[in-house]
Amino acid sequence: MGASFSALFIDQDGLPSVSSSSSTLGDLPETCVASIIQHLNPPDICKLAELNRAFRGASWADFVWESKLPPNYQILVHKILGFVPQKLGKRDIYTRLCRPNTFDSGTKKVWVDKNTGGVCMSISSKGLQITGIDDRRYWNHIPSEESRFHSLAYLQQMWWFQVEGEVEFPFPTGTYSVFFRLHLGRASRRFGRRVWDSEHVHGWDIKPVRFELWTSGDEYSTCQCSLGEAGRWFEYHAGDFKVDSPNSWTKVKVSMTQIDCTHSKGGLCLDSVLIYPTSFRHRLKHNGLLNCSKPCCHLLN
């Protein structure tokens, strides 16, 4: 977009002609600019705000950011911040929601994707119920720079593998997908380089892991998947759920189990459970992060 433009007029013959006087973008009324930029995504709005005073002022208009906020943003803000700020403009509210906001004693983070406005959530390993987590012969919580929570659960060896999680949250209307973020092998850094230890990795290729999902809307899905390539983080799809009412609270329960006691399994890092808008599955697949060999079976109770 240039720094100036020439105004077009229609002459007596009905043909466009260029006026002798030129106007700059700064001459546009802020309300006019705001009406245009509200159709752009937030990063582009912020870039245009650097052009001049008119675009900068328009970029703060409440009605521009009202269209970017989730429909139930007031409920979200109250849940995340504990109050609804009265003096903050809509752009400030959007900025706060785009940050990873922690709640439930630091075991959960929720944020709004700055490009799409979709609500995302991450539940840490410490926010999940893990069978045997208190016995250090089997599980350990270890520090990690590769986790949003700077900590993950590491399984050395166990026969009975079971992980469950639950959250109740006012998700905006839409369809969401649930993933377990897992890593075979223990990753670390040595001399500034990422390395991983496969010492305890075993048992995951014998029988598949079962992922299950339940919601308060009587939705249920299940799928089985063999854990694949070691040394990389993957998101394993546990199922999808739909939210129809923006003002309701949806309860989501998930589980991951491998309870065939004919063999032991170990060497697994469990970081978190992720809840994304379903459209994000294409992004994960494109980035090579999505890993599940079989599709989920979705049922209504």
Which tops the pLDDT comparison, 213 or 286?
A: 213
pLDDT at site 56: 79
pLDDT at site 52: 77
Please count the helices (runs of H) and the strands (runs of E) in the chain: 7, 18
Judge if pTM exceeds 0.85. no
pLDDT at site 245: 83
What is the arithmetic mean of pLDDT over 166-183? 95
Whole-number Å distance between alpha carbons of 213 and 167: 12
pLDDT at site 192: 79
Q: What percent of the chain has pLDDT over 90?
A: 48
- Reported as a single tens digit per residue, the pLDDT across 28-61 is 666 787 777 777 888 888 887 777 787 777 777 8
Domains of the chain: 18-66 (1.20.1280), 101-300 (2.60.120.260)
Where is average pLDDT lowest: 80-84, 153-157, 266-270, 291-295? 291-295
Give yes or no for a contact between 212 and 184, defined as CB atoms under 8 angstroms apart.
no
Helix, strand, coil fractions of the chain, as percent rounded to 5? 20, 40, 40
Where is average pLDDT lowest: 190-204, 222-236, 252-266, 280-294? 280-294
For the cut 70, the answer to whether the pLDDT of residue 258 exceeds it is: yes
For the cut 90, the answer to whether the pLDDT of residue 291 exceeds it is: no
Whole-number Å distance between alpha carbons of 63 and 104: 32
pLDDT at site 19: 44
For residue 257, give the nearest of 249, 268, 244, 248 by alpha carbon: 268
Give yes or no for a contact between 201 and 266, defined as CB atoms under 8 angstroms apart.
yes
Which tops the pLDDT comparison, 255 or 52?
A: 255
Handedness of CA 220, 127, 104, 76 (dihedral sign): negative
